[in-house]
A and B are shown apart, each in its own frame.
Chain A
Amino acid sequence: MSLTIAIPKGRLGTQAIEIFKRAGLGECIDEKSRKLVFEDKKRNLKFILLKNSDVITYVENGVADIGISGKDMVMESGGDVFELYKMNIGKCKMSVAGIKGKKIFKDDTILKVATKFPETAKKYFRGRGQRIKTIKLNGSIELAPILGLSDVIVDLVETGNTLKANGLEVFEDMYQISAMIISNKISYKFKRKEIKEIIELIRREEENGKDN
């Protein structure tokens, strides 16, 4: 039975492809070419390269059986997929950050939160009992508190250098993020053995990678 695997383009995808290749999968993928579909005839696999935020859409709708997507995207989209395996790549934190030293907010005010992840932010702050207004941005989130658009930001933080360079600091870490292998729920029923086999190969490869 053939499997279709959705891989995100960009840095995460490059890392993922490397691991897949080391595990003996997707030899056929050539990132430098402009092609978006690659077939591994020997293993009966089809790889499709997508924008990272689209991976979950393709998987949820069953066009791809499995895919690689950041946990941040999975949480934000609320997509109905299985989150089968947490990979060792794409690791960072989703955090609340703001202007250094300005950590106190009156509890009767509505906190203005600028973020790429409004749904995740809403869910998180609901759990904390803090009322918020989300402001959806698509980039340069760090600017929002500096220019007075928002009180805080919710964003992915890897090293914290970007925050520091802009006079911001992390107030609170919300979630650990990493790349996940996700699967379409129905594909998993029909192709469970094949899917588990792929995950096992990736898992083993990552374990070996750790030792070296």
Chain B
Amino acid sequence: MRFLNIEDEMKYFQRMFLLRKEIENFLYNEGFMNIEPSIFEGYDEFISVNSRIDKKTTVKILDSNKDILILAPDITTGIINKFMPRWEYGLKLKIFYYGKTYKYNGTGIKENREMGVEILGEKNENTDQDTLNVANRILNKYSENYLIEIGSSKFLKGIISACSFKKEDYHNILDFLYSKNKQELREYLEKLPYKEPMRTLYNILELEGSYEEITYQLKDMYLNDLAREGLEELKAIDSCMKNITDKIIYDLSLVSELSYYDGIIFRGYIEGSNKAIIKGGRYDSFTEQYGYKVPAIGFTVELDELSKILYREDV
């Protein structure tokens, strides 16, 4: 058995460099502009907007004013923090970045290379589809066996907020959705005082598959305006993505670790990898805490994971 030597390590760096350059060039040619993200975030600020993130995994630092900072566990938050206070009405930005995110993973600090895309200030009927299309083209470039999974945080929010759960119940229910634990979700709901929207929540884990399968399942279920709005967005996407139907699955119980999403959420998977390669979604309401709502959508590409599966046969 031989362990990693300098030659192999250099090979790895060159591959990463080329992969990164290739995607950067693609995005640049698609009209995205490059920015360099900051690696520090304010701890309190970050936690307040990302309530589902596991606080233990953040890498904390004290600065000289004794403020607690963290090494960015996510880059989008930092970009929004940077731009929103100075945002000008009518501005449109299509940006991409390369950066590293940091998390404790039990044994130490895990550094993760990420490439990301954000479209800020633009929202017309095509923006969601265009973004998905860019994601699709990146996946398609590197594998034939990939899937894009799409959910709607509006749908989920519409149903869950209509149930007006107590905080503890709310978190437990999200955990059941997160682990697709249908039986325990139902047992839990049966113990709570009945409200009509719970009918949909009761069956929400069945709402996965093609768009047709979902709409079929949705018959006779409780819906409200926000949930319907979410479904309309998915319908619009579905009608535009007919050419790649076999690559798309919908999952209306999709819960994101980052709580700022507000509209479609999506993930991209490549067969053989044990992580999502692409993660993203719309997050308009995230910008709202700076005073005005700026439409925003984006996604990240997990470069480390992508390079791992592209070159696995060599190892």
Chain A positions near chain B (C-beta within 8 angstroms): 61-62, 81-86, 183-184, 186, 188-190, 192
Contacts and interface: CB of A to CB of B under 8 A. Distances in A.
Interface in B253-311: 269, 271, 273-276
Given A61-B274, A62-B274, A83-B179, A189 B184 contact: no
A134 B273 CA distance: 36
B189 to A, nearest CB: 15
Given A84-B182, A85-B183, A189 B274 contact: no
Given A61-B274, A184-B274, A189 B180 contact: no
B179 A190 contact: no
Contacts of A84: 180-182
A190 B147 contact: yes
B184 A86 contact: yes
A186 B273 contact: yes
Contacts of A190: 145, 147, 269, 271
A83 B186 CA distance: 13
Nearest to A62: B274
B184 A83 contact: yes
Select the residue from B149, B181, B208, B276 with max chain A CB neighbours within 10 A: B181
B147 to A, nearest CB: 5
B275 A186 contact: yes
B249 interface: yes
A190 B276 CA distance: 12
Nearest to B148: A189
A189 B269 contact: yes
Nearest to B275: A186
A189 B182 contact: no
B269 A82 contact: no
What band does the interface of chain B fall in when counting residues whose beta carbon is under 8 Å from A? 10 to 19
The A contact surface, by secondary structure, is mixed
Nearest to B277: A186
Contact of B181 (A83, A188, A189, A192): A83
A86 B208 contact: no
A182 B208 CA distance: 18
Interface in B134-183: 145, 147, 149, 179-183
Nearest to A183: B180
30 contacts: A61-B274, A62-B274, A81-B179, A82-B179, A82-B180, A82-B181, A83-B179, A83-B180, A83-B181, A83-B184, A84-B180, A84-B181, A84-B182, A85-B182, A86-B181, A86-B183, A183-B180, A186-B273, A186-B274, A186-B276, A188-B180, A189-B149, A189-B249, A189-B269, A190-B145, A190-B147, A190-B269, A190-B271, A192-B208, A192-B249
A70 to B, nearest CB: 14
Nearest to B276: A186
Contacts of B209: 192
Nearest to A190: B271
A163 B276 CA distance: 46
Nearest to A79: B179
Contacts of B180: 82-84, 183, 188
Contacts of A183: 180
A189 B147 contact: yes
A163 to B, nearest CB: 26
Given A82-B180, A84-B182, A190-B147, 17 more contacts: A62-B274, A81-B179, A83-B181, A83-B184, A84-B181, A85-B183, A86-B181, A183-B180, A184-B274, A186-B269, A186-B273, A189-B147, A189-B149, A189-B269, A192-B208, A192-B209, A192-B249
